[in-house]
Structure 1
Amino acid sequence: MQSSNSQAAAPDSFRVRKVAVCGAGVMGAQIAAHCINAGVPVILFDLPDTKEGQTDKNAIVNRAIVQLRKLNPAPLGVPELASLITPANYDDDLGLLADCDLVIEAIAERLDWKRDLYHKLAPALPAHAAIASNTSGLSITSLAEALPETLRARFCGVHFFNPPRYMHLVELIPTAQTGPELLDALETFLVTGLGKGVVRAKDTPNFIGNRIGVFGILSVFVQAAAQGLTYELVDELTGTRLGRAKSGTFRTADVVGLDTLAHVIDTMRDQLPDDPFHTHFVKPAALASLVEQGALGQKSGAGFYRKEGKQILRLDPDTGKYVPADAHIDDAVAAMLAERDPVTRLQALHDSDHPQARFLWAILRDSFHYSAVHLADIADTAAQVDLAMKWGFGHAQGPFEIWQAAGWRRVAGWIQEDIKAGLALSGAPLPDWVTQGPVWDNEGVHTPQGSWNARAQRYEGRNTLAGYRRQIGAPRLVGEADTLVRNIVFENDDACCWTLPAPHPQDVLLLSFKTKMHTLSPGVVASIVQAVDMAEADYRALVIGHPDDPFSAGADLKSLLPIFEQGGAAAIEPVEKAMQDMVMRLRYAQVPVVAALAGMALGGGCELSVHCAARVAHFETYIGLVEAGIGLVPGAGGLTYAARHAAALQAQGAPDAPLLAYLKRFAFNIATAKVSRSALDARDLGYLLPSDPIVMNRYEVLYVATRLAHAMAESGWRPPLPRQFPVAGRDGTATLKVQLVNMLVGGYISDHDFQVASHVAQVLCGGDVDPGSMVDETWMLKLEREAFLTLLAHPKTLERVTSLLKTGKPVRN
């Protein structure tokens, strides 16, 4: 992530307050969408629509904005954000650039088109603005030549990966003239403002991610053909088992777009004639044929795969027809990939004669070989290569990490043997730094002192910009020093209670769970209560959260089921009561408790968080009460929270409006196990409050949470006073049930879904009481427990729970 260790701050005058994105195609529109996600005002430009009869000159942009609402995965946190993007065209609206601090060009990958656009934009740019090209591989220096000399210091490449909301990687590519302070300011904006992982790349064709990643795809084509492997088998081998994206190689290519892949390959072929691997920079015949036919992958409905109904078919390159995708990994090879020790795993793949294992060793060897040969050309350090592959291609580890973890010297020897035997894709020798000097002596490119700079022949640390000091627990590369320093207060098998070193607030206690998926086991529940007790006694605030995802997948059903099987509902009731007592302990703690949310916060995880004094949520937080999906109701205060919150909303909004109007949203979201699509959506669902901060960078969540907790304590925060609240009563239950009957008759829910939803409605409405009756939390929690335990004993609920534990998915019954 570093091109220099400059600690100089960007000028105070440079703030990204408004962004213009030029180009309303797939990438441009989605970059604009993500700026809006982050709360950054954005103007989206494109050509004026001059078709005969067209009265809206912004029609091209407006169509793109409408499309943003429909795309899946959704580029917007909530669809309504689309209306906040300002449409513009180059003929009428260049004056709008005067208020923009950053202009991102994202038009088609044509050097001449981009240069023409720069000529048009340059006179309208304000003196302080930065301009950047979102190119996937064109020369940034060549593009800069189209700008006036006075603008070149404010120009660079900024390459988002697709889709921009979800892909963590952004490559920042300077020219020799780009101002270092500007780069630092842009990196800070990208990291903290948009939540990205930034890698500074050199201005070489395809930069780092696509250079290494697309070479890896070409290697897969070559080696799969050599071993006679089908596309679906390759995807099984190169998916999660190998520590890569679930979609593997060919499914990923379909998602990205085969025309995009072909373009990047062409760029490598045309612009890298002296690359020692150039022989292989050619579009494979199957890829070229698909592109020629317009079969561009997911966006055209067919590519290497095609879906017919529920069946997935794969292309047979020999016949050009689609056939069932039904190949499977050999058990012995699967066992090799399941081996946890990286030394043993790579040894097994290297030594095996099985075609599938030979394929895997070959593609790994090719990636090691290519990355080593080109490290000095494309990146300042090996860290940038590994991070680009992790953040841009979904790899669990980059090529240098895998190599180092498996034994640097031994693997280097294997690579040399294959080069000598003519088995590698090039006869280019490994660079001298691989087999002698500091890297050989330290047995790897990553050390606690930093990562290897092949050109400078030294180890260099990561970027030292102040923004990175906000990151707590960001993953480190194999061999790097762990920067997370935890002062342990107490620790057990289920949880760890700790504090951060200065300069972080010393009066804030943190609690993290150690269970799988951070589920709420009885031990975790007890640890939460213990942490609250300690915070009240010796600290001023408590944060519940983790350096890694998710926040919590909910209650630990695996530990509860045996208790139920042995003692029935009576044995579960004390466990359920302990969960309820825990969330009430959080709600009325005498110190502020802040939940630091990221990833899933489901079921009990949602219930825990809504009872905290505040929440800090990563933008990609998916929160919801999902118990209905397994035939249960929320039993740890979720329904109590919903009923109490609905009453509060009624009191704050329109007291004369029926309470049921506020309850309905919660009722149907809970009954259908709805989960938020983002932290913004969680606000709309009522699981986050408008006052709860949303953080764009995952690794800044704990930083913000600890400071929020400290500030709340400093401000004299006090817990809420217990009070009664009105409920909708039996009339509200009856009204909700009528709507559920309609859903049942219409075939939208099953009989058991109806039973579960009826329990949800009855508890939310306060049970069999008169409308408007005042109840307290004790009353509501008792209703929750009764409904939870009743449903737990139902055979169909047990079927769902058992299926979930065995297969990861509940049956639909």
Structure 2
Amino acid sequence: MSNFIVRKVAVLGAGVMGAQIAAHLVNAKVDAILFDLPAKEGPKSGIAIRAIEGLKKINPAPLGHPDLASYIRPANYDDDLELLRGCDLVIEAIAERMDWKHDLYRKVAPFVGSEAIFATNTSGLSIGALSEGVPAELRPRFCGVHFFNPPRYMHLVELIATPATQPEILDRLETFMTTVLGKGCVRAKDTPNFIANRIGTFGMFATFAEAAKAGLGFDVVDDLTGAKLGRAKSGTFRTADIVGLDTIGHVMKTMQDQLKDDPFAPLYSTPEVFSALVAKGALGQKTGAGFYRREGKAVLRFDPAKGDYVPGGAKADETVARILKKKDPVERLKLLRESANPQAQFVWAILRDSWHYAACKLEEIADNARDVDLAMRFGFAMEQGPFEAWQQAGWGQVADWIRADIDAGRALANVPLPAWVFEGPVAQRGGVHQPEGSWSPARQAFVPRSAHPVYQRQLFPVTLAGEQAPTGQTGGNTVFEDESIRLWTLDGRGVDDVLVASIRTKVHAIGPGVIAGLLKGLELAERDYKGLVIWSPDDPFSYGADLQALLPVFMSGGVKAIEPVVKELQDALLRMRYAQVPTVAAVANMALGGGFEVAAYCARRVAHLESYIGLVEVGVGLIPAGGGLTFGARRAAEEQAAAPDAYLLDFLKKYVLAAATAQVSRSAIEAQAMGYLLPDDRIVFHRQELLYAAIREAKAMHDAGYRAPRRSMIRVAGRTGIATVAAQLLNMREGGLISAHDFHLGRTIAEVMCGGDVEPGSVVDEEWLMALERKAFCGLLNHPKSQERVMGMMQTGKPVRN
């Protein structure tokens, strides 16, 4: 089968993990059937039905939009096994009991399709041992597929083969997981806890041990092991609370049970404080208490000495914080190691321990060092994996330091580093990651990246320190560049002949320099290229207008000086909308305010699933001024024209209220439901495929004979619409849902989007509406309440409610 398409997936097990896997499948427009045991009371598929309903209440939301829950079909093992025959993929996700899984395999195997892949989502059980419960004819299509929780948001999926698994099965699964579900796939060996949990759980054991030596509280440890160390902001113990101590305890037990002969085995014992918390039912966030407990606004930490919770919030010593801010990794690590500060010694120790363990276990758990580093980055939100961090800090020097600590008994285990660390190509080249590949101890070679066709869509894949690969910031051929924007092209791979514009300002704020750069890009694209794509190699797409740049203009010339700047922005966006070549916005992460307006005035949008889009100007006491309200009015008129028996206001109200209440989509799917993305806009699930998809979209539009749209004539709701919306806003104000100034801003938005004081049903053009936007925006600049909000946001970064 050369073209394996997954149309329908069965998920066996409606627990937390199984239900959320099903949710992410329907996010990607893959039909899902969620199985569980037959319910003892009520509907036979009641367990699955309740799990599907529960998906709508989980935060962060596993569903891109709550309505997608209806695309998950509930089922039970008594009545519905015949449904398995129509599935291309079956994922088992029941509890981690080998006997239970084998019982289920015997029951479902006769119904699995002859070409379907059968995979287990086990987090640590042996895939080979699990395959023994699968009929011989199905074993070549059986493998492990380990999602991390929550499946929508965690990028990592580990793929694990058995000796009987056909190679093409993992290739097909990798294609599906990567492009359709947007995952970062790593192939792991069939060892306990695979790669990420094996390294990560050891890191937690090491953190417990070294924190106890240093006498550090959980809050200080979390501050040291969070963002300051390039890891998840939640650090170590707060992350444990989020994941659940029972879940982590299970992973710990897997290592304890299955790695008894490991020379590191003495370190795998569950810490006493961990066992004590589990015993008292303090399992973390799910139970309201774990290493931390919230009381009102206060966050308390558990004190093992007192056996109770005490005030938390302690931070790292300022001396150590300054060391961790050092940009040079060599200097940073040297200072940590040589410092007498217990916190500095703690940080050095946990880094040493993790690097020591990763080196000793590399050959056992993975094919090469790249797979380990990517697994830790994708699964544990680390900025760098253990090997690349070690390599950047100076491979040979660090290796000598680790060896010295092992010899002196300061390391956690008296296990020597592998010989390849000190001898041969790795030592000679100064690390495991080189331009030609990453080190594989088993192959005794630097192994290049996968040549799997799916990765041809990743024009700039996630790179590791030492690979020296081009990045989105440096790759391609620069056509024009200044401090605000870079215009460039990328030859070959089916993506040439399209100009790319990358905004370079802080948080990709839209200021005069960006507008000038986009206009230059349009001029070049119309002259020499097939289209213009706006894409940023890092997040966000754009936080919106550059208020800092506008402040000096306002201070020196007042509103009169601001109005021409706003007019330039509006004219530029209309120029982009009516360009003679297709313009495509490649949106990821935040596209707020002016950032959304830039995307909205492109001919097409290609958005990553995790795109959070909205007009949020009311938070700073203003209204959109770059055409965001004009866009909403135009879309409402277009939607009403397609349903002429409906009232215009029925369509317009959602756009008015979205802007008036600063609604931001929680996904690209929700943005489409809000109307901020159009039905023809594409949603991409893999962040590294976004640029490829956007460029190909522009080329396809050009090759299909793209012509700019006709100038829009927009039917508006007029003064009657303003009055209707104002009445609704008044009810919200009287109910305490919005403030008096919120009401004023909302009414102003309605006045613009309804076309001003005109007759209902009047037809206006975009320039008319944009003039209303501009006038209203400039008027608000002189309003004291708006000025309070603007200054509050600029000084504190937080919205002011007044």
With the length of structure 1 as denominator, give the TM-score of the two structures. Answer: 0.97
Aligned to 1:247, the other structure's residue is in SS state coil
Instruction: State the Cα distance separating 1:515 from its structure 2 match.
Output: 1.2
Match of 2:29?
39
Match of 2:631?
641
- Of 276-285 and 19-28, more deviation after overlay is shown by 276-285
Aligned to 1:479, the other structure's residue is in SS state coil
Match of 2:711?
722
Q: What is the CA–CA distance in structure 1 between the aligned matches of 2:110 and 2:539, rounded to whole Å?
A: 46
- Of 300-309 and 676-685, more deviation after overlay is shown by 300-309
Match of 1:508?
498
Unaligned runs of 5+ in 1: 1-10
Match of 1:756?
745
Instruction: State the Cα distance separating 1:62 from its structure 2 match.
Output: 0.4
Match of 1:345?
332
Deviations 1:577-620 (A, max 9, x none): 11111110111101110111111111111111111111111111
Deviations 1:552-571 (A, max 9, x none): 11111222222222222222
Q: What is the CA–CA distance in structure 2 between the aligned matches of 1:648 and 1:640, rounded to whole Å?
A: 12
Any conservation in 2 of the 1:472–1:699 contact (CA below 8 Å)?
yes
Q: What is the CA–CA distance in structure 2 between the aligned matches of 1:611 and 1:730, rounded to whole Å?
A: 27
One-letter identity of the residue aligned with 2:676: Y
Decide which of 585, 593, 602 is 1:595's aligned counterpart. Answer: 585
Match of 1:707?
696
Match of 1:416?
403
Instruction: State the Cα distance separating 1:483 from its structure 2 match.
Output: 4.5
* Change beyond 3 A, Cα 1:163–1:723: closer
Decide which of 81, 85, 89 is 1:102's aligned counterpart. Answer: 89
Instruction: State the Cα distance separating 1:489 from its structure 2 match.
Output: 1.3
| Alignment pair present for 1:426 and 2:426 | no
Aligned to 2:769, the other structure's residue is in SS state helix
| Alignment pair present for 1:89 and 2:76 | yes
Match of 1:185?
172
Decide which of 48, 55, 60 is 1:61's aligned counterpart. Answer: 48
Deviations 1:54-83 (A, max 9, x none): 231100000100000100000000001111
Deviations 1:174-202 (A, max 9, x none): 11111101110100110011100000000
Q: What is the CA–CA distance in structure 2 between the aligned matches of 1:175 and 1:20, rounded to whole Å?
A: 21
| Alignment pair present for 1:489 and 2:484 | no
Aligned pairs (5 A) from 1:298-447: 298-447=285-434
Q: What is the CA–CA distance in structure 2 between the aligned matches of 1:319 and 1:215, rounded to whole Å?
A: 27
Instruction: State the Cα distance separating 1:280 from its structure 2 match.
Output: 1.3
Match of 2:254?
267
| Alignment pair present for 1:788 and 2:788 | no
Q: What is the CA–CA distance in structure 2 between the aligned matches of 1:589 and 1:605, rounded to whole Å?
A: 19
| Alignment pair present for 1:165 and 2:155 | no
Match of 1:688?
677
Any conservation in 2 of the 1:547–1:699 contact (CA below 8 Å)?
no
Q: What is the CA–CA distance in structure 2 between the aligned matches of 1:505 and 1:373, rounded to whole Å?
A: 42
Decide which of 71, 83, 108 is 1:121's aligned counterpart. Answer: 108
Any conservation in 2 of the 1:58–1:87 contact (CA below 8 Å)?
yes
Any conservation in 2 of the 1:496–1:513 contact (CA below 8 Å)?
yes
Q: What is the CA–CA distance in structure 2 between the aligned matches of 1:435 and 1:201, rounded to whole Å?
A: 25
| Alignment pair present for 1:452 and 2:439 | yes
| Alignment pair present for 1:806 and 2:799 | no
Decide which of 594, 598, 602 is 1:612's aligned counterpart. Answer: 602
Aligned to 2:231, the other structure's residue is in SS state coil
Aligned to 1:455, the other structure's residue is in SS state coil
| Alignment pair present for 1:542 and 2:532 | yes
Aligned residues with identical type, % of pairs:
59
One-letter identity of the residue aligned with 1:451: S
- Of 154-163 and 343-352, more deviation after overlay is shown by 343-352
Decide which of 279, 283, 306 is 1:296's aligned counterpart. Answer: 283
* Change beyond 3 A, Cα 1:728–1:169: same
Q: What is the CA–CA distance in structure 2 between the aligned matches of 1:353 and 1:568, rounded to whole Å?
A: 56
Q: What is the CA–CA distance in structure 1 between the aligned matches of 2:3 and 2:566, rounded to whole Å?
A: 55
Aligned to 1:299, the other structure's residue is in SS state helix
Aligned pairs (5 A) from 1:143-292: 143-292=130-279
Unaligned runs of 5+ in 2: none
Any conservation in 2 of the 1:16–1:101 contact (CA below 8 Å)?
yes
Aligned to 2:138, the other structure's residue is in SS state helix
Q: What is the CA–CA distance in structure 1 between the aligned matches of 2:231 and 2:712, rounded to whole Å?
A: 51
Q: What is the CA–CA distance in structure 1 between the aligned matches of 2:787 and 2:404, rounded to whole Å?
A: 57
Instruction: State the Cα distance separating 1:516 from its structure 2 match.
Output: 1.6
- Of 93-102 and 343-352, more deviation after overlay is shown by 343-352
Any conservation in 1 of the 2:619–2:800 contact (CA below 8 Å)?
no
Q: What is the CA–CA distance in structure 1 between the aligned matches of 2:444 and 2:8, rounded to whole Å?
A: 41
| Alignment pair present for 1:561 and 2:551 | yes
Q: Give runs of ≥4 in structure 1 deviating > 6 Å.
A: none
Instruction: State the Cα distance separating 1:769 from its structure 2 match.
Output: 1.6
Q: How many residues align?
A: 799
Deviations 1:240-280 (A, max 9, x none): 11111111111110111100111111111111112222111
Q: What is the CA–CA distance in structure 1 between the aligned matches of 2:263 and 2:748, rounded to whole Å?
A: 68
Q: What is the CA–CA distance in structure 2 between the aligned matches of 1:414 and 1:300, rounded to whole Å?
A: 42
Match of 2:768?
779
Deviations 1:613-656 (A, max 9, x none): 11111111111111111111001000011111111111111x24
RMSD: 1.2
- Of 205-214 and 768-777, more deviation after overlay is shown by 768-777
Q: What is the CA–CA distance in structure 2 between the aligned matches of 1:582 and 1:448, rounded to whole Å?
A: 42
Any conservation in 2 of the 1:803–1:810 contact (CA below 8 Å)?
yes
Any conservation in 2 of the 1:498–1:511 contact (CA below 8 Å)?
yes
Aligned to 1:69, the other structure's residue is in SS state helix
Deviations 1:656-710 (A, max 9, x none): 4222111110111111111111111011111111111111111111111111111
Deviations 1:69-125 (A, max 9, x none): 100000000001111101111111111010111110000011111111111111111
Instruction: State the Cα distance separating 1:546 from its structure 2 match.
Output: 2.0
Any conservation in 2 of the 1:173–1:202 contact (CA below 8 Å)?
yes
Instruction: State the Cα distance separating 1:792 from its structure 2 match.
Output: 2.1
Q: What is the CA–CA distance in structure 1 between the aligned matches of 2:585 and 2:562, rounded to whole Å?
A: 26
Instruction: State the Cα distance separating 1:13 from its structure 2 match.
Output: 5.8
One-letter identity of the residue aligned with 1:645: R
Any conservation in 2 of the 1:631–1:791 contact (CA below 8 Å)?
yes
Instruction: State the Cα distance separating 1:746 from its structure 2 match.
Output: 1.4
Instruction: State the Cα distance separating 1:770 from its structure 2 match.
Output: 1.8
Q: What is the CA–CA distance in structure 2 between the aligned matches of 1:513 and 1:548, rounded to whole Å?
A: 10
Match of 1:8?
none
